Amino acid sequence: MKIAVLGTGTVGQALASRLAELGHEVSVGTRDVTGTMARTAPDAMGNPPYPAWAAAHPGVRLATFADAAAGAELLVNATSGGVSIAALAAARTENLAGKVLIDIANPLDFSRGFPPGLFVKDTDSLGEQIQTAHPELKVIKALNTLTAALMASPAQLAGGQHSVFVCGNDPGAKKTVTGLLESFGHTDVIDLGDISAARGTEMLMPLWLRLMGALNTPMFNFKIVR
């Protein structure tokens, strides 16, 4: 499958490398190709700049948001939640029409420091805002409740025996995304219903962040026992 991963950060890199490993044709989308490839400093978390990752993954193409989306059959939104809608606007409506978008972003608000709050919650969600702003997309919220390494390779923890969630308005799109997640090694993909269920998965983030601090590691996940 031709897949565009929008976003060059840790999440985008983890998913792009995993998708390429599984045999998909992967492009990574960015606002400014030249600027992205000129980075030399580590990111805010101390990770190497994008060019270092790109050198190790020569089969993954870097393109503008619009060019990456134009050539893709499926899109992954791995941008920061605060810029997600603008990034998708930059990808252009004609390049999004009829395509499935896996939305991984969370509406984190760092204006008051760490841990962040959420800039939308309770009666709305970032997933819903993306769907409203881009009705031409089939938005499926998924993978936003665990760290990037486990999104891409869940078997690193408990043999993959933990839970992830999907929600969205299009049953066929959810089936496509569920199949992709299972190809990553996810063993328990739970369908929560329509895109409004993104409110719940996004509101898990404050708990997730507190758990990361308490456990002193991001390598954990929820398991729904039933």
Token couple for 188: 């328990």
**pLDDT (0 to 100) of residue 41:** 86
**pLDDT (0 to 100) of residue 48:** 87
Q: Which domains are delineated in the chain? A: 2-215 (3.40.50.720)
Rounded Cα–Cα distance for residues 125 and 132 (Å): 11
Helix (H, G, I), strand (E, B) or coil at 181: helix
Shortest CA distance to 201 belongs to which of 157, 167, 169, 153? Answer: 167
Q: What is the pLDDT along the chain (226 residues), one digit of tens a residue?
A: 999 999 999 999 999 999 999 999 999 999 999 999 999 888 877 788 999 999 999 999 999 999 999 999 999 999 999 999 999 999 999 999 999 999 999 999 998 888 899 999 999 999 999 999 999 999 999 999 999 999 999 999 999 999 999 999 999 999 999 999 999 999 999 999 999 999 999 999 999 999 999 999 999 999 999 9
How many other C-beta atoms can be found within 10 angstroms of the C-beta atom of residue 166? 24
Instruction: Please tell me whether the peptide bond between 115 and the residue prior to it is cis, using omega within 30 degrees of 0.
Output: yes
Q: Tokens 């025996």, residue?
A: 161
Burial of 33 (0-12, 13-18, 19+ CB in 10 A): middle
